[in-house]
Every structure is written in C-alpha cells, then in structure tokens.
C-alpha cells in the first residue's frame, strides 16, 4: 500500500512530471483530486484518490522496489520531452511504451549518450537534485586551443549562473584540428557543457554524455535501451534512499 503524500510528490512518483513541474501543473489548476481542483501541498492517498491531469487519470504510483529503470543511448536530434509542439521526434518515440516512465535530467536536442528513465519519479527527482552532487561525464568533440581551455577549466570558469569547476578534465587529439575534451561535473545546469565550451572559445562538433553517476554508456548503440546491471541498480538504490 502506498503511503499518503503531497500531491506534487504523487505526480512525480507516478512519472507525470518532475517535482517542480508538478507544482506548476497544480498551480495552473490542471490537476484534480476526486474531481476537485488540487492545491499545492494537498495530501492525497494515491491508492484511493482519483488524481488526474488535464482530465486524464495518472497511472499507479511505482514503489522503488518495483520501479522500472532503463538506460537509453539518446541519439542527437531527439527531444527530451513527452511531446514536442514542433512535431520533432522525442525519446518516447524510441523507448519501450511503459506507463508512468519519466526521464532523469534533460539533455538538449543535439546532445547524445546516457539518459536514465524510470517509473519512480521520486527517485528521478533525488538523482537530479543539486544536493546529491551526481557526477556526469561528457566527451565533447571540439576545435580550438584545447590545452589552454583545459587549463582554464581546471581553475573554474565563471558562467552567468555561477562558476563551473569540473572534477576532472582530459584532452585527446583526434587529428585534423579536432580534439576530444573529456569533462566530469557534479551538477546539471541547463546546457552547462556547451556554455562552458563557448566560454572557453571552443567550437563543439559533438557532445556525448558517457556516464551519469554509476551508469556508463559502454557499448550501447545509439537509440537502444537496456536494463540497469545489478551493480548499477544497487548503486542507484543507495543514492536515492
């Protein structure tokens, strides 16, 4: 049996939206509980109450023990959203059709690589909360003065929303003026790596997220999904407790 919880948490746990977006849905009057308009902070009983968004009843609340977890190698040119007003392809066009599935973080349209999806919206919220300091590793294919850029990055770079100080930076030449710029950060601000590279005067040809916390991309093909390994599943449980 699912315990009573705040309405925004219930929406997140059901994979409808992140906790913050859930609050926006409630504030906009788009959420009802037993046919009355929900209020932010309202306590609900998901096993008994009828909770709906825009008139559509939400799915069952997934418990951590029975949640579905998937790893997607997100291709470029795919939106990380449930639907796109411009009709562009989204991640939900390429992952298995799973009720209440939501994404962990939101890589931009062109960024590739590791994207976690789960039916446990509460765990998704914890994984993306800044206090967790989950490491993300990226490999950017870039042009420019990469050695100087790497030295500057290791000292920290001021962006408009604060300093970015990577926990690891490495560079590898690819030839013909291209380099691999390997960066590990422990936060997930919007377009952070692209903005960092821009501040370092680097031109980004490609950006791949190769690791999110304990989950690595490995040999997973672009557009393919897989289950968590037992080791990854244990690590995720430990992080999201």
Q: Is 108 a catalytic residue?
A: yes
Q: What is the C-alpha separation between 237 and 129, in angstroms, rounded?
A: 15
**Catalytic residue chosen out of the listed positions 47, 93, 108, 161:** 108
What is the distance between the alpha carbons of residues 103 and 149, in angstroms, rounded to a whole number? 32
Tokens of 63: 């418990």
Q: Please give the structure tokens belonging to residue 188.
A: 């997930």
Of 218, 179, 189, nearest to 107 by C-alpha is 189
The closest of 22, 21, 27 to 5, measured between CA atoms, is 22
CA–CA gap between residue 52 and residue 35 (Å, rounded): 8
Residue tagged 């449930």 (tokens):
82
| Residues labelled as active-site residues | 108
């Amino acid at each position: 049996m699912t315990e009573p919880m705040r309405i925004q948490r219930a929406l997140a746990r059901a994979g409808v939206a992140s906790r913050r977006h859930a609050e926006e849905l409630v504030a906009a009057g788009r959420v009802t509980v037993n046919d009355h308009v929900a209020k932010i902070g309202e306590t609900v009983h998901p096993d008994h109450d009828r909770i709906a968004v825009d008139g559509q009843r939400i799915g069952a609340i997934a418990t951590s023990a029975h949640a579905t977890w998937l790893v997607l190698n997100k291709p470029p040119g795919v939106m990380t959203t449930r639907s796109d007003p411009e009709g562009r392809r989204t991640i939900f066009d390429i992952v298995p059709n799973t009720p209440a599935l939501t994404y962990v973080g939101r890589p931009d349209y062109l960024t590739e690589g590791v994207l976690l999806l789960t039916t446990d919206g509460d765990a998704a919220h914890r994984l993306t909360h800044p206090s967790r300091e989950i490491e993300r590793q990226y490999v950017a294919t870039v042009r420019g003065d990469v050695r100087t850029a790497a030295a500057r990055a290791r000292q920290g770079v001021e962006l408009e929303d604060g300093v970015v100080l990577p926990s690891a930076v490495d560079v590898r030449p690819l030839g013909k003026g291209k380099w691999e710029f390997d960066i590990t950060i422990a936060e997930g601000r919007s377009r952070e790596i692209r903005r960092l590279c821009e501040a370092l005067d680097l031109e980004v040809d490609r950006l791949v997220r190769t690791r999110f916390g304990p989950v690595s991309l490995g040999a997973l093909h672009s557009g393919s999904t897989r289950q968590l390994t037992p080791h990854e599943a244990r690590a995720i449980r430990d992080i999201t407790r």
